[in-house]
Structure 1
Amino acid sequence: MWYLYCLVLLAGVANAVQAGQNGALAKSLGWSLSAGLVVAAGTATCILVVGLLSGRLSLPTMAQALEVPWWAWFGGVLGGGIVLAQLLVARQIGAAPFLGMLVTAGVVTSILLDHFGWIGFERHPATVWRILGGLLMIGGVALVATS
């Protein structure tokens, strides 16, 4: 199980590095949305290669596709929004405030999603400790963003 946490830590590092890479790509190409298409093509290629190499890539059946909740189809749109934020905002505010706000907003939102069991998550109550952790993260981001 520890290797899963290591994978998440690596993804966090990649998220911080990716914001800078995407910002540099947008600056070099002179138009942020062109950079977004390059990023999307790289993402699709990565998923395709890993899927093919692992043997876990398959198209859903019509029955499977019809069972998917309507809102679940829009995860890619949200991912595109994250990439757009990296392209348009990260360079202007800096890596630490950008990623701090991104992660903190995600944690605070996750506390709500867990508490109410929304969008397919198991219910995990918003305990005092979870709420305190979210508040501490907000305070930490405030310190990073104003320094």
Structure 2
Amino acid sequence: MLLLVALAVGGLIPIQTAANSRLRVSVGNKPVVSALVSFSMALLVAVVATTVLRGNPLPQFAEGASAPWWVWLGGVMGVCFVLGNIVLFPRLGAVQTVVLPILGQVIMGLVIDRFGLFGAPVMEVSWLRVLGALVVLVGIVVVLRAGKRPAVEGDAAGVELWLYRLLGVLVGVGSAVQTAVNGYLGTIAGSSLHAGEINLTVGVLLLLVAALATSPRQLARKPEPGPWWMWLGGLVGAAFVISGATLAPLLGTATTVIAFNAGTIAAGQALEARGAFGARRNPLTAARLAGLVVIFLSVLAVRLL
């Protein structure tokens, strides 16, 4: 059941990416401003959810307890994840934007599990788990090769293309760190809901400083009208942060991030196949479907073997 929850949460990420990318257009093409709006909405959702479900929105740290410096990295990595996706989506398209981070997430997730980094429980990384992760990568390659579409205006090419792809991998590394950090933070802050609040508060503060430094005039302007779904980014962001903090200690960081992204890939393919949420339409082929099946089976292998 926990794997199914992780897959479902991962399936929301392409919607967040598309929504934030569209919101960027309505705020003067300023990615920092659109990310700030998304994070602010996510923080509001997290505060309301924590108040309703836990009775007190304030973190409940044990008296005299001290948090390690790296607990604040979750918010930093969350900012990098959202900004990275906003930048990558119009350059690489939905498929590569949601798939490439897996390379970084799988590797970093296994490293975190193996060495118990960021307060994560040490979990054996057997050769079978590594094999399962490698098969996930094979599925990714199949999906990418089968998902090629004719180039359109705005696509990255040449050296620029590979730099954007590298950025996608690094975004994935940061996402794995965020999941592990938030998982630990949830154990010392009172709950995963409180951990989500802290994560999002750090993100809002960082983005507010960045927006004031780079786009102060845009903050005073009302966003231009757009489709209703461009406001969904914050809601999805809150669900993703809270779910990551809840699931990572239970499933392990590697399994959590792989399951998240298996769901993300499936949803990304569906989004492109239907051209939904502003994505460029790219019909689903048998080869791409085969790649998705390989990825799903590999997620189960990483968890069960």
TM-score tier, shorter chain, comes to: 0.7 to 0.9
Return closer, same or farther for 1:99/1:56 CA change in 2, 3 Å cut-off.
farther
Q: How does 1:69-88 map to 2 (within 5 A)?
A: 69-88=68-87
- Measure the CA separation in 2 of the matches of 1:145 and 1:27: 27
| Partner AA of 1:14 in structure 2 | L
Identity of aligned residues (%): 24
1:76, distance to aligned residue in structure 2 (A): 0.3
- Measure the CA separation in 2 of the matches of 1:47 and 1:103: 26
- Listed as ranges, the gaps of 5+ residues in structure 1 are none
| Partner AA of 2:113 in structure 1 | D
Counterpart of 1:20 in structure 2 is 18
Counterpart of 1:137 in structure 2 is 136
8 A Cα contact 1:23 1:87, kept in partner: yes
- Measure the CA separation in 2 of the matches of 1:34 and 1:28: 10
For residues 54-89 of structure 1, give each alpha carbon's deviation from its aligned partner in whole angstroms, at most 9, with x where no partner exists: 12522345846x511111122101000000011111
- Measure the CA separation in 2 of the matches of 1:77 and 1:59: 19
Question: Counterpart of 1:67 in 2: which secondary structure?
Answer: coil
8 A Cα contact 1:32 1:87, kept in partner: yes
Number of positions where the alignment pairs a residue of Structure 1 with one of Structure 2: 144
Comparing 84-93 and 51-60, the one that deviates more: 51-60
- Measure the CA separation in 1 of the matches of 2:25 and 2:15: 16
Q: TM-score, normalised by structure 2?
A: 0.44
Higher relative contact order (CA 8 A, sep 6+): 2
- Measure the CA separation in 2 of the matches of 1:44 and 1:132: 38
Pair 1:59 & 2:62 matched: no
> More helix by proportion, 1 or 2?
1
| Partner AA of 1:80 in structure 2 | V
Q: TM-score, normalised by structure 1?
A: 0.86
Counterpart of 2:5 in structure 1 is 7
- Measure the CA separation in 2 of the matches of 1:93 and 1:112: 28
Pair 1:99 & 2:93 matched: no
| Partner AA of 1:86 in structure 2 | N
Measured on the aligned residues, the alpha-carbon RMSD in Å equals 2.0
After TM superposition, which residue ranges in structure 1, 4 or more long, deviate above 3 angstroms?
59-64
| Partner AA of 2:58 in structure 1 | S
